[in-house]
Every structure is written in structure tokens, then in C-alpha cells.
Structure 1
Amino acid sequence: MYSKVTLAGHPIHPMLVAYPVAAYTGTLVGFAVYASNGQQFWLNFAIAMNIAGVGGALLAALPGFADLWLGVPRKSSAMAIGRVHGGLNVLALALFGISLGLYANHWNGPPRSATPGLALASAGVFCTIGAGYLGWTLVQDFHIGVQLTRDQARDEATVQHLRPLRIHHDKAA
């Protein structure tokens, strides 16, 4: 299940996901500091990070969507996890998009309460953490985006073949 969208043989989706994660976190930090001190700089910072996060998420979603729908078997556990991963990311994008819509007109004031932005960014970061956990599950457990060598693929096939024997628990043991 190697990535379908690559650059010089490297999957693009994992290259891009760090940017919205960092920007979403920066948005939350900006709103938190703005809530504590009311300085316009921090609201502007939150808005700028929010723009970067939403834009970065849209860019990262394109190869992620292609990898999911073109590279993962339809009825596999990986597809089920990938759908939840994508759904959490879309939810996070929606939350940050709503936040951006609420605050974009406040770049130069007038001051606005940080409470809605703080709540939306907190929920968005929480969704992003959940999506990240599931994304790493796709890499770690299903090797999505991992190009195995011939020896690794052989070993993986052997492990997959033996896996039911490993999880069988004998009551006598």
C-alpha cells in the first residue's frame, strides 16, 4: 500500500502534514495569549496561523485523499481507519475555517472576545491529535506510504501469515 502521490519516490502527504499541525497549534497559542493579555498582536498572530493552517490542510488533504482512495484496498481495516483519519481532519479544517471566518475581519481591530476562537481552536487541535494518531497507525501498522525492500516485504508476509497464531491465547498457559 505505497503512496500514489509522490515526489522523487517519497510520499507527499506526510511531507505536508506538519505544516497545518504546526499552524493549528500556533493558532491555539495565539488565541490563548490573546485571551490572557488582549494585545492585538496575538490576535493577528492567531489569524495568520489560522490562514496558514487552513491553507496547509487543504494542500495536505489532496495527496492524502488520493492515497486513501487509490492506494488502500476498499474493504480493509486500513480503509476504515483512513476514513476516520480523514474525517477528523475535515472536522478540524471546518472548525478552523469557522474560526477564520469569525476573526478575519478583526485583523486591525476592533477587539473581539477570544473565547470562540479559543474553543474552536482547542476542539480543532484535539481532532488533529486524534487524526495524527490514526495517521501514524496507518503508517506503523499497515505500512501506508512505506516502501518496503524485497526482504522487508518477505518478512512482512511471514509475520502476517503468523499473526493469528500469535494472538491465540491458550487457557492452559
Structure 2
Amino acid sequence: MYSKITVAGHPIHPMLVGFPIACYTGTLVGYAVYASNGQQFWLNLAIALNIAGVGTALLAALPGIADLALGIPRRSAARTVGIAHGGLNVVALGLFGASLGIYATHWDGPATGVTAGLALSSAGLACTLGAGFLGWTLVQDYHVGIRLTPLQESDEQTVQSAELIHLRRGSHAA
């Protein structure tokens, strides 16, 4: 299962995911520090990182969607994990987008509170961590985006054939 969007054979999606992860983390830190000291710099930093996080998440999603649609076989366990991975990322994007919607107008002046920003960015970062775990599962367990040697590829096809036989037997038994 190769990534379909690559540069010189290297998958682009994993190259891009570090940016929203870092920006989402910085957004939460910015809100937390602003909540503790009330300095406008920290709110502005949180807002700027939130904008960057949402933007880079949308950018990283494009090759991720292409890899899911074109590189992972239908009715495979990897596809189920990929859909869950994408779903958690969409939820995280929605949470950070909501936070941005609330605080973007406070760039020039203090916010009355940051409870919503802390809650939304905490939940969003938790979703991002869950999505990251599932993304790593795609790489580690299902070899999505991994260039296999011919021997590894042969072994992979043998395992997939055995799984298909097992699934077919299970469907006849039901």
C-alpha cells in the first residue's frame, strides 16, 4: 500500500502532519499562558498558531485523503483505521476552527476569558493525539507509505491472501 502523493518516492502526508501538530500544541500553550498571566502577546500567539494549525491541517489532509482513496484497498482493516484516523483529524480541525472563530476578533484586545479556548484546544489536541496513534498504526501495522523489499512484498501478499481466505470462511459460516 503505497502513498499516491509523493516527492521523490517519499509520501507527502507524513511530511506535513508535524506542522498542525506543533501549531495545535502551541495554541493550547498560548491559551494556558494567557489564562495565567493575561498578557496579550500570549493570546495573539495562540490565535496565530491556531490559524497556522487549521491551515496546515487542511493542507496535510489533501494527500492524506488521496492516499486513503487511492492507496488503501477497500474492505481492508487498514481502510477502517484510515477512516477513523481521518475522522479524528476532522473533529480536531472542527474544534480548533471553533476556537479560532471565538478568539480571532480578540487580536487587538483582551478576551473576557479563555475557558472555551482551553477546552476546545485541549479536546482538539486529544483528538490529534488519537489520530496520530492511528496514523502510526497505518504505518507500523499495515505498512501504508512504506516501500517494501521484494521479499517483504511477497510476505505481505501471503498474509493478505490468508486474511482473505479467513474472511471468506467466516462469511460462509454466518
Unaligned runs of 5+ in 2: 164-174
Q: Tell me the residue number matched to 1:33.
A: 33
For 1:140-155, what aligned pairs fall within 5 Å after superposition?
A: 140-155=140-155
2: CA distance, partners of 1:81 / 1:9: 23
Q: Tell me the residue number matched to 1:53.
A: 53
Q: Tell me the residue number matched to 1:9.
A: 9
Amino acid paired to 1:11: P
2: CA distance, partners of 1:41 / 1:109: 10
Shift of 1:108: 1.1
Shift of 1:78: 0.6
Shift of 1:100: 0.4
Kindly, what percent of the aligned residue pairs are identical? 71
Shift of 1:153: 1.7
Normalization by structure 2: what TM-score?
0.89
Q: Quick check: 2:103–2:111 contact (8 Å CA) kept in 1?
A: no
Q: Quick check: 1:106–1:112 contact (8 Å CA) kept in 2?
A: no
2: CA distance, partners of 1:139 / 1:153: 15
Measured on the aligned residues, the alpha-carbon RMSD in Å equals 1.5
2: CA distance, partners of 1:93 / 1:99: 10
Q: Tell me the residue number matched to 1:134.
A: 134
For 1:49-88, what aligned pairs fall within 5 Å after superposition?
A: 49-88=49-88
Unaligned runs of 5+ in 1: 164-173
The size of the alignment, in residue pairs, is: 163
